[in-house]
Amino acid sequence: MEFIDLRSDTFTQPTVEMRKAMAEAECGDDVWDEDITVKHLEGLAAEKTGKDAAIFTASGTMSNLIAILTWCDRGTEIVVGDQAHIFWNEGGGVSALGGVSVRTVPNTPRGGMDPLDVEEAIRRQNITSMIGLENTHNRGSGGVLTMDETESIAKIGRAKGIPIHLDGARIFNASVALDVPVKDLCSPVDSVSFCLSKGLSAPIGSLLCGSKEFVDDARKWRKMVGGGMRQVGVIASAGLVALDTMVERLAEDHANATSLAKGLSDITGINLNTDLIESNIVIFEWMLGPTAEFIERLSQKGLKASYVGGQKIRMVTHVGISTWDIDRAIKIVGETANTPL
Ligand SMILES: Cc1ncc(COP(=O)(O)O)c(C=O)c1O
């Protein structure tokens, strides 16, 4: 059966142009600083995020971990939203590997945080060592943080001398959704990580960007977590194609997510606030039965979705999903919802 796969934008395949670039990539030993394709990608990432420097990593999780290891001493604490990817989905690396504890403050439904909550969560005596933001917000239905929202938290960090790290795994989605350059969205923060392997369709890779001093230090931590890679221009070359060719088209994914959300919200048994859908992630609640069983029934009809927790189901649009797929997905959900067990 041909599936409509809405589980995640991480299921995107490298494009033909990426595969060609990978075959032809100029490589060197990147641990020895001799891979010019990686250098090119790191330079471009720094330019796009408006930071001095960048370092290529294997994944978004690794980028966030390296940011934490770089900013935070053992025994300190970071402040993040209670729905943050760093808190939910990164294997607890912050504590297991960093010796750092996590203090959470409530996330709004679209992934923001109340500056008053953040301010209140900061401890005295230099215990709070980093504040983490996420844009777009994965568990927050792909909510997009505006520059003002980011600044409202960043200024608390600045006033107290606490660095702000932005988990910008999908920062290019945020940029396209707001029509604001990535570098403006990143200007209030001290470090930012972003992923090439999600909506941008590259097979592997993330970049961690910040000041030169921060990135020099991050290089040491990347080596320690086993993230020093050798002829890695082979994959960095796909990242260069991703940044060159796959950013503007994210608007199509956002339009598809909006249509999907609208269609789903009309189906009896589905609880979905369409106002929350700002990029390519649609999260809704299935109210008329067990969620896992509903996802399984969708899958039997050719539609894959992912389980978020409780009654929540997630569908993510990406380059592999057409408007036809969206219409079909809405139809499958409607038929499944209307079919008694
Ligand atoms: C917001 C966010 N941050 C970080 C990551 C981690 O990225 P990776 O899967 O490359 O480790 C993800 C992955 O889905 C994500 O959604």
Report the distance separating Cα 241 and Cα 247, nearest Å.
10
Domain co-membership, 130 together with 278: no
The answer, yes or no, to whether any atom of ligand 1 lies below 6 A from the CB of 37, is no
CA-based nearest residue to 327, from 4, 13, 9, 7: 4
- Please report, for the domain that includes residue 68, its CATH number: 3.40.640.10
Distance 334 CA to ligand 1 centre (A): 30
Task: Indicate which residue's Cα is closest to atom 6 of ligand 1.
Answer: 60
What domain range is 331 assigned to?
249-337
The segments of the chain whose pLDDT lies below 70 read: 341
CA-based nearest residue to 38, from 11, 20, 19, 58: 58
Q: What one-character-per-residue DSSP string does 84-98 give?
A: -HHHHSSTTHHHHTT
Domain co-membership, 159 together with 49: yes
| Per-residue model confidence (pLDDT) at position 18 | 98
Residue 7 lies in a domain: no
**CA dihedral of residues 290, 296, 301, 303 (deg, nearest 10):** 100
The answer, yes or no, to whether any atom of ligand 1 lies below 6 A from the CB of 134, is yes
| Per-residue model confidence (pLDDT) at position 108 | 97
Q: What angle (nearest 5°) sits at the alpha carbon of residue 85, between those of residues 79 and 86?
A: 50
Report the distance separating Cα 260 and Cα 268, nearest Å.
15
| Per-residue model confidence (pLDDT) at position 127 | 96
| Per-residue model confidence (pLDDT) at position 340 | 72
| Per-residue model confidence (pLDDT) at position 125 | 79
Ligand 1 pocket test, pick from 9, 85, 306 with the greatest ligand atom count within 8 Å of Cβ, gives 85
Ligand 1 atom nearest to 8, measured from its CA: 14
Tell me which of 196, 217, 245 is where a domain ends: 245
Burial class (CB in 10 A: 0-12, 13-18, 19+), 163: buried
Report the distance separating Cα 163 and Cα 151, nearest Å.
13
Tell me which of 245, 277, 309 is where a domain ends: 245
Rg (CA), the chain: 20
Residue 3 lies in a domain: no
Distance 169 CA to ligand 1 centre (A): 6
The answer, yes or no, to whether any atom of ligand 1 lies below 6 A from the CB of 59, is yes
Report the distance separating Cα 177 and Cα 7, nearest Å.
21
Ligand 1 pocket test, pick from 134, 195, 225, 280 with the greatest ligand atom count within 8 Å of Cβ, gives 195
3-class DSSP state of 271: strand
